[in-house]
Amino acid sequence: MTGVGFTHIGGPTVLIEHAGWRILTDPTFDPPGRTYAFGWGTSSRKLTGPSIAAADLPPIDAILLTHDHHGDNLDTAGRALLPAAGTVLTTVSGARRLGGGAHGLRPGQTHLLQAPGRPALTVTATPARHGPPLSHPITGDVIGFALTWPGQVHGPLWITGDTVNHRAARTAARALRPGTVLLHLGAVRFPSTGPLRYTMNTRDALSLLDGLAPATVLPVHYEGWQHFTENRDAITAALDATGGPPFTWLPPGRQQTITV
C-alpha cells in the first residue's frame, strides 16, 4: 500500500509527502486582510491565514504551481519560497514570468522528478480553463497536475487546478482515471462579472467525476477568500441533495495519510 501524507495549509496550498518527497501545491502564506487584484476589475480579499507558517515548512523538493498570476494561488510569501524549492513546475507563460529555472508545461507534457533513494514521480500537466468560454484573455493560462509513481493502489493523484468543467478537462480525466483527486472548488464569482463562474461548484465537480469512481476526493480552495460563493456547508448540502460520493475533508494544519 502507498500511504501519502496530505496537509492542507489553506486555500489551494497542500503539502504532499510520499516516500521522502515533499511537494507543495500553489503556495499561499500571506496573512489575511489584504485585497488582491485579479485583473479586468476583479479583486478579492483574503479572509483567513495559513494553518502553517512558511517558516515552519520542511525543505520542499517541488512546487506545483497551477498559475502564478492570481494572489490566491501564489502570494507574496509564497513567491518567496520558490527559489529554495528543488523544482518549480507551472504553465509555460508562468515560467517565463517567474524565471529562476521554473519549468513550464503545456497540458499533456510531463516532467520526471528523480532523487537517489526515492521512487521516480511522473508529473503530467492537465488542461484547465479558469472561467467560461472565451475567458482566457481575462483569466490567463492555468494547468492541473497528475502524479504517478510505481505501486499506486487506486491510480494517479490528480490536482485539478482552478478550472470549470469543460470538454478538455473531462477528456483528460477519463483518460487519466484518477484514484485520488485534489479538487479545487469554491464556485468563484465577482460582482463585476455577474453570474459567471470561474471555478467549479459541487454539481460541476460531480459531473466532471461522473463515471470515474475515484477512491478519494479531497476538496480544497473553497474557503478563506471573499470571492468564493460555495463553502464547506454549501458543498455538503449539494452532496446530500444529489447523492454524490462522500468527500474527505482535510483538517487544516494536520497531516492525513491516505492510500493513493
166-186 pLDDT, tens digit each = 999 999 999 999 999 999 999
Is a pLDDT exceeding 70 seen at residue 26? yes
Structure confidence at residue 244 as a pLDDT band (50, 70, 90): confident
61-115 pLDDT, tens digit each = 999 999 999 999 999 999 999 999 999 999 999 999 999 999 999 999 999 999 9
Task: State the average pLDDT over residues 213-223.
Answer: 97
Amino acid at 187: A
What pLDDT does 245 receive? 83
pTM of structure: 0.97
Q: Is residue 26 a contact partner of residue 8, using CB atoms and an 8 Å limit? A: no
What pLDDT does 181 receive? 98
Is a pLDDT exceeding 60 seen at residue 193? yes
With b for 16 or more beta-carbon neighbours within 10 A and e for fewer, the 209-235 pattern comes to beebebbbbbbbbbbbbebbebeeebb
Amino acid at 72: D
What pLDDT does 40 receive? 80
What pLDDT does 2 receive? 66
With b for 16 or more beta-carbon neighbours within 10 A and e for fewer, the 106-117 pattern comes to ebeeebebeeee
148-167 pLDDT, tens digit each = 999 999 999 999 999 999 99
What pLDDT does 54 receive? 98
Is a pLDDT exceeding 80 seen at residue 259? yes
If we measure between CA atoms, which residue out of 140, 236, 136, 151 comes closest to residue 185? 236
Q: Is residue 82 a contact partner of residue 98, using CB atoms and an 8 Å limit? A: yes
What pLDDT does 41 receive? 83
Angle at 50 between CA 45 and CA 56, to 5 degrees: 145
- What gap in Å lies between CA 111 and CA 94, rounded to an integer? 16
Phi, psi at residue 124, to the nearest 5°?
-115, 130
What pLDDT does 187 receive? 98
Is a pLDDT exceeding 80 seen at residue 253? yes
The DSSP annotation for 96-126 comes to HHH-TTPEEE-TT-EEEE--TTS--EEEEEE
Is a pLDDT exceeding 60 seen at residue 1? no
Percent of the chain with pLDDT over 70: 99
With b for 16 or more beta-carbon neighbours within 10 A and e for fewer, the 190-203 pattern comes to beebeeebbbbbbb
Q: Is residue 117 a contact partner of residue 20, using CB atoms and an 8 Å limit? A: yes
Q: Compute the mean pLDDT over every residue in the chain, rounded to the nearest whole number.
A: 96
What pLDDT does 39 receive? 83
- What gap in Å lies between CA 258 and CA 243, rounded to an integer? 23
Phi, psi at residue 40, to the nearest 5°?
55, 35
Domains of the chain: 3-249 (3.60.15.10)
